[in-house]
Amino acid sequence: MMIRYADDFVCAFQFSKDAERFYRVLPKRLKKFNLDVAEDKTSLMRFSRFHVGRKRHFAFLGF
């Protein structure tokens, strides 16, 4: 799943391996278009609506 607003976006994956690969490849892909990843806004985070002990939400653009 991808949620986008202007030049910001969140990508959600079912499997951690898919997320890790995307995270690793994204900067290389963006470089082809002379774009950079904002390191301070970019991270991998694990969350779940099904596991009580895990985070169930996060802030996107301060909301």
| pLDDT per position as a tens digit, 1-54 | 888 888 888 898 989 999 999 999 999 999 999 999 988 888 888 877 777 776
| 42 compared with 57, residue with greater pLDDT | 42
Please state, in angstroms and rounded to a whole number, the distance separating the CA atoms of residues 27 and 32: 9
Give percent of the chain with pLDDT exceeding 70: 89
Please state, in angstroms and rounded to a whole number, the distance separating the CA atoms of residues 55 and 46: 7
Please state, in angstroms and rounded to a whole number, the distance separating the CA atoms of residues 35 and 58: 25
